Amino acid sequence: MNALEVSDLSFAYGPREALRHLNFSLEPGRFAALLGPNGAGKSTLIALLTRLYDLQHGDIRVGGNSLRQAPRPALKQLGVVFQQSTLDLDLSVEQNLRYHAALHGLSRRQTGIRVDAELTRQALTERRHERVRELNGGHRRRVEIARALLHEPRLLLLDEASAGLDPASRLALNQHIRNLCREHHISVLWATHLLDEVQAGDDLLILHLGRLVASGQASELSLEYGADLGSVFTRLTTLATTGVAR
């Protein structure tokens, strides 16, 4: 069963179409990069995936559960790291995690176990009582990842999670997520506009003007277009998109 399936997804802000007939899926344990320039429709897609916006046309299935028909089991399988930090700066690391566990209905016992496990996994155990305000950007991101994984989702969604981090932290974060994906068989959808965050073996989804203009393994797309990823991306996102490119 796919971790994520998006079928015939369209969305419009009044008369302006933001997403047009998107179709793609993500297999369990895969790292997929969602790439697109500003205005491509990434934020709208994230808003739909996280139920911030209601579906207008098409469907999204998370772990086989339709967001339209069974939102509760679908959202249970989804962990999210938003572009802008959504942590409570005045609360401690542990208090932030416990709040999230409560939102997912975890019992006190489960919460204790899961908080300990995620803090250990993210190497944050010693910082559990520190206020989030006192942490640097990289550590805050780690707290958000710990929070997103607290309820053991099958799919981790990261919306420009490396934004605002210095290059070393950005690389470390990207590597960290890849390790999680590999070692714990979590599917990852990594939305970004930075090509250097994509590796040859990643699944790649290129979004432009609301359309999915390319999808497939990054290395295969390079071969198909006979160019490096940067050139492929530039070509696909500067062409007038009258239809899906492939």
**Closer of 43 and 199 to another protein (Cβ):** 43
**Closer of 163 and 244 to another protein (Cβ):** 163
Q: Residue 101 in contact with residue 150, Cβ under 8 Å? A: yes
| Residue 40 backbone dihedrals phi, psi, to 5 degrees | -70, -25
Least distance from C-beta 20 to another protein, angstroms? 16
Least distance from C-beta 198 to another protein, angstroms? 26
Q: Residue 87 in contact with residue 96, Cβ under 8 Å? A: yes
Q: Residue 148 in contact with residue 117, Cβ under 8 Å? A: no
Distance from C-alpha of 123 to C-alpha of 146, rounded to nearest angstrom: 10
Q: Which residues bind another protein (CB under 8 A)?
A: 13-14, 16, 47, 50-54, 71-76, 78, 80, 82, 84, 86, 88, 90-91, 95, 98-108
Distance from C-alpha of 189 to C-alpha of 179, rounded to nearest angstrom: 14
Residue matched to tokens 């998370």: 62
**Closer of 159 and 203 to another protein (Cβ):** 159
Q: Residue 97 in contact with residue 118, Cβ under 8 Å? A: yes
Least distance from C-beta 195 to another protein, angstroms? 26
**Closer of 90 and 183 to another protein (Cβ):** 90
Q: Which value, in Å, is the radius of gyration of the alpha carbons in the chain?
A: 18
Least distance from C-beta 228 to another protein, angstroms? 35
Least distance from C-beta 31 to another protein, angstroms? 21
Least distance from C-beta 209 to another protein, angstroms? 15
Q: Characterize the bridge pairing of strands 187-192 and 31-35.
A: parallel
**Closer of 118 and 203 to another protein (Cβ):** 118
**Closer of 156 and 245 to another protein (Cβ):** 156
Q: Which runs of consecutive H residues, i.e. helices, occur in the chain?
A: 42-49, 71-76, 93-103, 108-121, 137-149, 167-184, 218-225, 229-238
